[in-house]
Amino acid sequence: MFKTIRAKLLGSFILVAILVIFMSIFSVSKIFDSADGFKDYRGMARDAVLAGEVQSNMLMVRMNVKDYLVHPAKKEVDEFNQYYDKTIEQIQKAQQEIKNPERAKLIDQIEEALVTYHSKFQSVQQLMDERNDIVFNNLNKNGKTMEMLLTSIERSAYQDQNFDATFKAAESLRTLLLARIYAIKFIEANQASDMERTLSEFEHLNKQIMELETSIQNPARIEQLEQVQPLIAINVFLIIRFS
C-alpha cells in the first residue's frame, strides 16, 4: 500500500513537472515567433518568468518529499508546506496576469495537478505515521517481549537441567532473531522477498514453539510460552497489513 501511494506521488509530480516545462517552452517559443512587437514580447517573457518561478519552487517541493521519504522528519514537512504555499501563490499570480487562453489553461492544469500532489503527500504522511506505530509500538515491542520470554524459558530450563527444552528455546530464539531481521529489511525496502522470508520465519517459529511446549512441564515456563504465540500472530498480521 505504501509503495503504491509513493508511486502515485511520483506520478503526480511528473505530471506537474511536464506541464510546467511545457508552459516554459511554449512561452519561450512564442517569444521568438512573435511578430506583434515589444508588447507581445514583454507579455510572453513575463509568462516565461512566472513559469520558471513555479518550476523552481516545484523542484524544492519535490526535494522535500524525497528527503521525507528517506528521513520522515517534521522539518521536511514544514519546508514542503512552505514551498507548496509559494508555488500556489505563483500560480495564482500567473492566473491573474496570463491572458493567453492556451497558457492560462496550462496554468489551471498545473494548479489542479499540484493540489493532487499535495493530497498524495498527505496520504504518505498518514501512512508513515501508521508505519511508525506498527514498527515502534508493535513489532519492536512485541519482538523484545518474545525475546525476553524465550530467554527466560531457556535459562530456567537450563538451571533445572531440562536440556531438551533449553536447546529448543535457543533454536526458537535464533528463528525469532531472523524473523525480526527480515521484518526490518521488509519495512525499509518493501521487497516482497523480504516479506515472504519474514512470514516463513514466523511460521517456522510457531512450529518450534509447539515442539518446545512438549518439552516443558514447569507451570511458569508454560505460562511464559503461552504469551509468545499470540505475539507471533500479531506480528504476522501487522507484516501482512504493512504490505
Residue 34: what pLDDT? 46
Report the pLDDT value the prediction gives residue 25, as an integer from 0 to 100. Answer: 56
Q: What percent of the chain has pLDDT over 70?
A: 81
What is the distance between the terminal CA atoms of the chain, rounded to a whole angstrom?
A: 6
Highest mean pLDDT among 11-25, 74-88, 199-213 belongs to 199-213
Domains of the chain, each with CATH number or no CATH: 2-127 (1.20.1440.210), 129-242 (1.20.1440)
Show the cell assigned to 114: 499540484
- pLDDT value of position 181: 96
Please return the burial class of 102, using the count of CB atoms within 10 Å of its CB with bins 0-12, 13-18 and 19+.
exposed
- Choose from 30-44, 49-63, 191-205 the range with maximum mean pLDDT: 191-205
Q: How far lies 99's CA from each of 18, 22, 106, 108, 171, in Å?
A: 21, 17, 12, 12, 74
Q: Answer yes or no: is pLDDT of 17 > 80.
A: no
State percent of the chain over pLDDT 90. 45
Buried b (16+ CB within 10 A) or exposed e, 32-70: eebeeeeeeeebbbebbebbbbbbebbebbbebbeebbe
pLDDT at 6: 60
Locate the DSSP E strands across 135-177. none
Residue 84: pLDDT over 80: yes
Helix (H, G, I), strand (E, B) or coil at 103: helix
If you average pLDDT over each of 23-32, 115-124, 222-231, which comes out highest? 222-231
Read off the pLDDT of each residue in 230-240 and give the average, rounded to a whole number. Answer: 95
Q: Is residue 208 very low, low, confident or very high in pLDDT (cuts 50, 70, 90)?
A: very high
Instruction: Tell if the pTM clears 0.75, that is, is over it.
Output: no
